[in-house]
Amino acid sequence: MPLIDSSPIRQDTEALRQRADQDGYLLFRGLLPANDVIDTREQVLDCCERHRFFSSPIVHDDGTMDLDRLRAYYEEAYRLRSVHALPKHAAIVDVYTRLFGRKAVPHARTVLRTMPYGTRQVWPVHQDYLNVGTHNEVWNSWMPVGDCPSDLGAIWMLPGSHRLGVRGNHLLDEKELFFEATGDLFNHPPAGFHWQTDDLNTGDVIMFNSLTFHRGGPNQRPDEFRISIDNCIQPIDTDFIAGAFELHTGDFGKFNQGVGWDQIYEEWPEADPLKYYWQQLDLNFADSIAVEFENA
Ligand SMILES: O=C(O)CCC(=O)C(=O)O
């Protein structure tokens, strides 16, 4: 089933809120200027090239990725200003300002994902509150960095599932953590909802509530990488966790170790307003909520 494009109701606050309440996600086709996305894509692909991703595969025979090479690449790509700027584009923030009815503050912890063909290390079904440590009006924006047909491994949504609230999650062991090559899921999506995805194009952005169940899709295109960025955001007067303004350390918790924003910003313009922007804001911080696992 295709995802619904909310572009026609983008300026209609009431309609936006109703759809957000009903579906737990909002897709906007062509929200970002294509040039900005293409420029980011070129910089990321250059980085892939420098790390020989195209000439020397980074996926092992068992479907796991070569984490040492992925880390070296990620730590370089994470310094690209456009990787951080794209998901904080005014067009995105404006939608959230309308949706929340007050200032929306993006997390600094941008996530760049570079998914090779053949890996089984694909995100399984989850709700983002697990990662963001809170769920009070937190949303995530997911954008392909370039065209992303569904077989390149777009994102899958379970519309309406946010209405279930916080659900017990299974703690997955190493073997279960990701899709197997068959695409079977190991986590347990709630019953009564229907998975939806779509071909996504340059400039499209999917926004979803941190309680909406979703998952990544496996990249089934040999020789191509699925490149995407995701970035959470929440209203200024809600509680933030400190991690929202820390560097993303990779899905395996071992990237960007011993690195701080000063290093990330090294090549950025000196008076760049994107640097440490959250320090200018009066924000409340709280501890992460305790996540309970049914099988812990
Ligand atoms: O990009 C993916 O494959 C998964 C992304 C995801 O789960 C997220 O952004 O929370």
Amino acid at residue number 160: G
CATH topology of domain 7-285: Jelly Rolls (2.60.120)
Give distance in angstroms: CA of 293 to centre of ligand 1: 20
Per-domain residue ranges for the chain?
7-285
Q: Is 107 in the pocket of ligand 1 (CB under 6 A)?
A: no
Q: Is 208 in the pocket of ligand 1 (CB under 6 A)?
A: no
Give distance in angstroms: CA of 95 to centre of ligand 1: 20
DSSP code string of the chain? -PPPB-GGGTT-HHHHHHHHHHHSEEEETT-S-HHHHHHHHHHHHHHHHHTTTTTS--B-TTS-B-HHHHHHHHHHHTT-HHHHHGGG-HHHHHHHHHHHTS-EEE-S--EEEEE-TT------SB-THHHHS--SS-EEEEEESS-B-GGGT-EEE-TTGGGG-S--BPPPPTTTSS--TT----S-PPTT---B---B-TT-EEEEETTS-EEE-----TT--EEEEEEEEEETTSEE-GGGGS---TTTT-SSTT--HHHHTTTS-TT-TTTTGGGGS--EE-PPPPP-BTT-
**What is the pLDDT, as a whole number, of residue 10?**
98
Q: Is 89 in the pocket of ligand 1 (CB under 6 A)?
A: no
Give the residue, by CA position, lying nearest to ligand 1 atom 9: 230
**What is the pLDDT, as a whole number, of residue 290?**
67
pLDDT in tens, the chain (296 residues): 789 999 999 999 999 999 999 999 999 999 999 999 999 999 999 999 999 999 999 999 888 889 999 999 999 999 999 999 999 999 999 999 999 999 999 999 999 999 999 888 888 888 888 777 676 799 999 999 999 999 999 999 999 999 998 876 665 555 555 554 334 444 567 889 999 999 999 999 999 999 999 989 889 999 899 999 999 999 999 999 999 999 999 877 789 999 999 999 999 999 999 999 999 999 999 988 766 666 55
Q: Is 216 in the pocket of ligand 1 (CB under 6 A)?
A: yes
Other beta carbons within 10 Å of 4: 17
Give burial (CB, 10 Å; 0-12/13-18/19+) of 285: exposed
Give distance in angstroms: CA of 270 to centre of ligand 1: 32
Q: Is 230 in the pocket of ligand 1 (CB under 6 A)?
A: yes
Q: Which residues contact 119 (CB under 8 A, 6 or more apart)?
A: 59, 63, 64, 65, 178, 218, 219
Counting ligand 1 atoms within 8 A of each CB, the residue from 135, 155, 195 with the most, and so the one to mutate, is: 155
Give the residue, by CA position, lying nearest to ligand 1 atom 7: 215
**What is the pLDDT, as a whole number, of residue 167?**
77
